[in-house]
Chains A and B, each alone.
Chain A
Amino acid sequence: MTMRLPASLRLSPRWAPYVFVSPFLVLFAVFGVFPLLFSLHLAFQSWEPTSGLGSMEFVGLENFAFALEDEWFWKSLKNTAWLALVSGVPQHLVAIPLAVFIHTSFKRLRDGVMAAYFLPYITSTVAIAIMFSSLFSTDYGLINAALSATLGMEHIDWLGHPDTLKPAVAFIVFWRYIGFNVVLYLAALQTIPKDLYEAATMDGAGRWQQFWCITLPSLRPMIFFGVTLSVIGGLQLFEEPFILTGGKGGIDQSAMTSAVYLYRMAFDFNDFGGASAMSWLLFLVVVVLTWLTNRAFRPRDEQRSGQEAS
Chain B
Amino acid sequence: MTTERMSRWSAYLLVLLGALIMLAPFYFMFVFASQSRSAIFNLPPPLWFGSDFLENFKILTPRLPFWHNLGWSLYVALASTALTLLFCSMGGYAFALMEFRFKKALFGLVMGTMLLPSFMNMIPTFMIMDALGWIDQHRALYIPGAASAFGIFLMRQFASSAVPRELIEAARMDGCGEFSIYWRIVLPLLKPALGTLGLITFIASWNNFIGPLIVMRSADHYTLPLALRSLQSPVNTEWGALMAGSALATIPLLLLFALSSRQLIAGLTSGAVK
Contact = CB atoms under 8 A, between A and B. Distances in A.
A and B, one complex? yes
Interface in A226-249: 226, 229, 232, 235-236, 238-239, 243, 246
Contacts of B243: 130-131, 134
Contact of A38 (B124, B210, B249, B261): B124
A123 B91 contact: no
A222 B274 CA distance: 11
Nearest to A128: B25
A297 to B, nearest CB: 15
Given A21-B95, A114-B265, A266-B126, A35 B210 contact: no
Interface in B45-63: 45
Given A32-B113, A145-B45, A38 B127 contact: yes
Given A134-B32, A238-B118, A18 B146 contact: no
Binding site secondary structure of chain B:
helix
Contacts of A102: 15
A87 to B, nearest CB: 15
B109 interface: yes
A232 B116 CA distance: 10
Interface residues on A, range: 35 or more
B140 to A, nearest CB: 10
Given A36-B124, A272-B123, A23 B246 contact: no
Contacts of B18: 98, 117
Contact of A145 (B44, B206, B228, B262): B44
Contacts of B19: 113, 116-117
B167 interface: no
A120 interface: yes
B82 interface: no
A122 B200 CA distance: 9
A28 B109 CA distance: 10
A24 B147 contact: yes
B1 interface: no
B163 interface: no
Interface string A120-135: 1111111111111111
B28 interface: yes
Interface in A244-300: 246, 258-259, 262-263, 266-267, 272, 275-276, 279, 282-283, 286
B29 A140 contact: no
Contact of B123 (A39, A122, A142): A39
Contacts of A105: 8, 11-12
Contacts of A131: 25-26, 28-29, 243, 246
A39 B109 CA distance: 19
A303 to B, nearest CB: 20
Given A24-B147, A101-B11, A102-B15, A279 B209 contact: no
Interface of A: 2, 4-5, 10-13, 16-21, 23-25, 27-28, 30-32, 34-36, 38-39, 42, 49, 98, 101-102, 105-106, 111, 113-135, 139-142, 145, 149, 175, 178-180, 183-184, 187-188, 222, 225-226, 229, 232, 235-236, 238-239, 243, 246, 258-259, 262-263, 266-267, 272, 275-276, 279, 282-283, 286
Given A36-B124, A122-B264, A141-B45, 14 more contacts: A13-B172, A20-B93, A21-B94, A38-B124, A39-B123, A49-B130, A116-B22, A123-B253, A127-B225, A134-B242, A183-B265, A184-B272, A226-B272, A259-B122
